[in-house]
């Protein structure tokens, strides 16, 4: 990031909750995953609860006089799903959404609740072409939904699984500079 770009990063941890696909073991998760196909039988209540946590963090920053238009929501996997869910529903326009190796949760509900401030919203999506956890197809479907809704989606794929590469980090840095320098 450029030295003259003032940025604060906040990295919240997902709450500990039972995750069905892991035998009900309590672990960090933004919502329960009930099926190997992560986009089936989604935990709507858990998604909404986690989005409320994120909304509270946004409210905290706004109380510190940070404009919503200078806030980027970001996340990987479940965190990316929650960033998309809350970012698209937030009543004020945000700077952007960074969504890595993820998908759009409960898309029918989300699209009916999406804010009127999403047209032209900048979204960076990065996804591994060999992701065994969140199939590339789910990321592509998410991109198509967002583009159809009028969002500006920068879509990048990388030769990797469910992870992050140095090339992706460089692309993220460039995208962040662009959306936060406005």
Enclosing H/E stretch for 99? strand 96-100
pLDDT single digits (tens) 129-140: 999 999 999 999
What is the distance, to the nearest Å, from the Cα of residue 40 to the centroid of all Cα atoms in its chain?
18
pLDDT score at 56: 97
What DSSP string runs through 103-143?
Answer: --SSHHHHHHH--TT-TT-EEEEEEETT-SSS-HHHHHHHH
Handedness of CA 21, 25, 28, 29 (dihedral sign): positive
Question: Which residue numbers are catalytic?
Answer: 77, 131, 162
8 versus 66: the higher-pLDDT residue is: 66
Confidence (pTM) = 0.93
Considering only CA atoms, which of 87, 101, 106 is closest in space to residue 155? 101
Cβ-proximal residues to 2 (8 Å cutoff; 6+ apart), any chain = 177, 181
pLDDT score at 2: 53
Q: Which residue has the tokens 């970001």?
A: 74
- Please say if the pLDDT value at position 1 is more than 60: no
pLDDT score at 118: 83
Q: Please give the Cα distance from 34 to 20 (Å, whole number).
A: 5
pLDDT single digits (tens) 85-94: 999 999 999 9
Split at pLDDT 50, 70, 90, the class of 15 is: very high
Q: In whole numbers, what is the pLDDT of the chain averaged over residues? A: 92
One CATH from 1.10.240.10, 3.40.630.10, 3.40.50.1820, 3.40.30.120 for 16-180: 3.40.50.1820
For residue 76, give the 3-state DSSP assignment: strand
Enclosing H/E stretch for 178? helix 166-180
Percent of the chain with pLDDT over 90: 80
pLDDT single digits (tens) 19-56: 999 999 999 999 999 987 777 788 999 999 999 999 99
Altogether, the residues listed in the chain come to a count of 182
pLDDT score at 5: 65
């Amino acid at each position: 990031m450029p030295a003259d770009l003032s940025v604060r990063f906040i990295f919240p941890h997902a709450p500990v909750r039972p995750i069905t696909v892991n035998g009900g073991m309590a672990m960090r998760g933004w919502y329960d995953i009930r099926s190997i196909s992560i986009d089936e039988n989604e935990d709507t209540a858990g998604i909404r609860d986690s989005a409320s946590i994120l909304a509270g963090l946004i409210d905290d920053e706004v109380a510190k006089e940070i404009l919503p238009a200078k806030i980027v929501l970001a996340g990987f996997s479940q965190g990316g799903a929650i960033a998309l869910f809350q970012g698209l529903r937030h009543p004020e326009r945000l700077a952007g959404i960074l969504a890595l190796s993820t998908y759009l949760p409960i898309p029918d509900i989300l699209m009916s609740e999406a804010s009127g401030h999403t047209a032209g919203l900048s979204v960076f999506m990065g996804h591994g072409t060999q992701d065994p956890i969140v199939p590339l197809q789910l990321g592509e479907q998410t991109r198509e939904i967002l583009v159809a809704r009028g969002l500006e989606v920068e879509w990048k794929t990388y030769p990797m699984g469910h992870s992050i590469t140095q090339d992706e980090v460089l692309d993220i840095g460039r995208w962040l500079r662009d959306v936060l320098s406005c």
